[in-house]
């Protein structure tokens, strides 16, 4: 898919140095087309957030990409010069973080935090930047945006803070947004408002969104396509309508069976069968061995030259 805004191919990532780094991502393939919301679903430890952080260049210091490409509109983010990449991040590629409580700097006013990105990436001076920030807050349906600009994060509710973070993400007309569990910390009623806002903003601008979450319910409501990840491997990928109507992979089906539904109280909840999980991990470790063999073979050919 060359016209995709985001095209991840064969992405491998491992943590730790030395002879045996711990593999986290094991050949992730994933593409997000313009105007598409792509849900990346998995349980904690599956590597879903790490995919988003690789795109954003926000991997922890101990993590290393050991293979694959991450292309933004045909340009490999991992291969481009740092300065070029930094110019994209926060501007054309933006993040909506999980926790609205910690994502904003508590000692700066909202105005400063919204205008930072406008001054840095668009080169606006303080006054026009503030004017633009006010428009952005109005666009995310914050009442009295002028007053909110002068407030500190602790004066705002969780929902309001998440709106501010969405405003910051959309500030420079991004092509691609990585949304990492953006509604997990919110009440269901506020969650629905935020999802609606996100969908409206995204629809208007044709933004591509990589939506990272563990919540199948949220995915079904906002995503066009879905990828299910476990142990750093994409197990199943497809249109949301198909996956929710007829999940193909046993793990996806197990996720559904473990999710409580108030409309189906008679259905017993089934934790994911341990046998399935150990089978999946065995596959993942086998993939690691194949990968290690391939690396060794590559090194041998290089040495032979």
Partner 1 sequence: MIRAEGLGLALPDRGRRAGGFGFGRPPLLTILDGIDLQVGPGESVGLVGESGSGKTSLGRTLLRLYRPTAGRLVFEGRDITALEEPALRPLRADMQFIFQDPQSSLNPRARIGDILAQPLRAFGRTEGRRDAWRQAAALLERVGLPPGFTGRWPHELSGGQRQRVGIARAIALKPRLVVADEIVSGLDVSSQAQILALLAELKRDLGLALVFISHDLSVVRVLCDRVVVLRHGRVVEEGSCAAVFADPRQGYTRELLAAIPLPEVQPGWIFG
196 binds partner 1 (CB under 8 A): yes
Provide the 3-class DSSP secondary structure of residue 39: strand
Query: Looking at 2, 189, 296, 302, which residue binds partner 1 (CB under 8 A)?
Result: 189
Site string for partner 1, 208-237 (x = CB under 8 A): ------xxxxxxxxx---------------
For residue 241, state whether it binds partner 1 (rule: CB under 8 A).
Answer: yes
Structure token digits, residue 256 = 């559904």
Rounded CA separation 213/211 (Å): 6
Exposure of 77 by Cβ count < 10 A (0-12 exposed, 13-18 middle, 19+ buried)?
Answer: buried
- Cα 82 to the chain's mean position, in Å? 21
Please tell me whether residue 99 binds partner 1 under the rule CB under 8 A.
no
> What distance, in Å, lies between the first and last C-alpha atoms of the chain?
35
Minimum CB distance to partner 1, residue 227 (Å): 16
86 vs 199, beta carbon nearer partner 1:
199
From 123, 143, 262, 300, residue interacting with partner 1 (rule: CB under 8 A): 262
Cα torsion angle, 259, 245, 97, 191, sign? negative
Find out whether 256 and 243 touch, Cβ atoms under 8 Å. no
Stretch that binds partner 1, among 63-71, 116-124, 126-134, 184-192 (CB under 8 A): 184-192
Q: Kindly list the distances between the CA atom of residue 84 and the CA atoms of 78, 81, 88, 142, in Å, as whole numbers in the listed order.
A: 11, 5, 7, 33
Residue 46 CB partners (closer than 8 Å, separation 6+): 229, 230, 231, 232
- Is 249 a binding residue for partner 1 by CB under 8 A? The answer is no
Question: Mutual orientation of helices 158-169 and 110-122 as an angle, nearest 10°?
Answer: 10
Binding mask 119-148 for partner 1 (x = CB under 8 A): ------------------------------
Query: Does 188 contact partner 1 by CB under 8 A?
Result: yes
The minimum distance between CB 219 and partner 1, in angstroms, equals 8
| Shorter beta-carbon distance to partner 1: residue 31 or 219 | 219
Residue ranges in 20-79 that form contacts with partner 1 under rule CB under 8 A: 43-44
Sites of contact with partner 1 (CB under 8 A): 43-44, 158, 187-192, 195-196, 199, 214-222, 240-241, 244-245, 254-256, 258-263, 265, 269-272
């Amino acid at each position: 898919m060359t016209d995709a805004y985001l095209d991840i191919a064969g992405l491998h990532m491992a943590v730790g140095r030395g002879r045996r780094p711990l593999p986290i991502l094991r050949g992730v393939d994933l593409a997000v087309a313009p105007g598409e919301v792509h849900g990346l679903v998995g349980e904690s430890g599956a590597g879903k957030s790490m995919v988003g952080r690789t795109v954003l260049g926000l991997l922890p210091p101990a993590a290393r990409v050991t293979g694959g490409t991450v292309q933004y509109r045909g340009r490999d983010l991992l291969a481009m010069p740092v300065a070029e990449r930094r110019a994209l991040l926060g501007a054309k590629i933006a993040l909506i973080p999980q926790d609205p409580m910690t994502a904003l700097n508590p000692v700066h006013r909202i105005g400063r935090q919204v205008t930072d990105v406008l001054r840095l990436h668009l080169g606006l001076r303080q006054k026009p930047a503030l004017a633009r920030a006010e428009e952005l807050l109005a666009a995310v349906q914050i009442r009295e945006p002028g007053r909110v600009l002068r407030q500190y994060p602790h004066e705002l509710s969780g929902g309001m803070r998440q709106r501010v973070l969405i405003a910051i993400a959309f500030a420079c007309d991004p092509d691609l947004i990585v949304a990492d569990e953006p509604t997990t910390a919110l009440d269901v009623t506020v969650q629905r408002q935020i999802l609606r806002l996100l969908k409206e903003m995204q629809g208007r601008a044709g933004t591509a969104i990589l939506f990272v979450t563990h919540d199948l319910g949220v995915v079904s409501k906002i995503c066009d396509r879905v990828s299910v990840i476990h142990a750093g491997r994409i197990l199943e990928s497809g249109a949301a309508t198909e996956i929710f109507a007829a999940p193909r992979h046993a793990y996806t089906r197990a996720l559904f069976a473990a999710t409580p539904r108030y409309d189906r109280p008679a259905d017993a909840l089934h934790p994911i069968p341990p046998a399935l999980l150990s089978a999946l991990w065995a596959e993942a470790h086998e993939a690691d061995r194949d990968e290690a063999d391939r690396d060794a073979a590559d090194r041998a050919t290089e040495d032979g030259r």
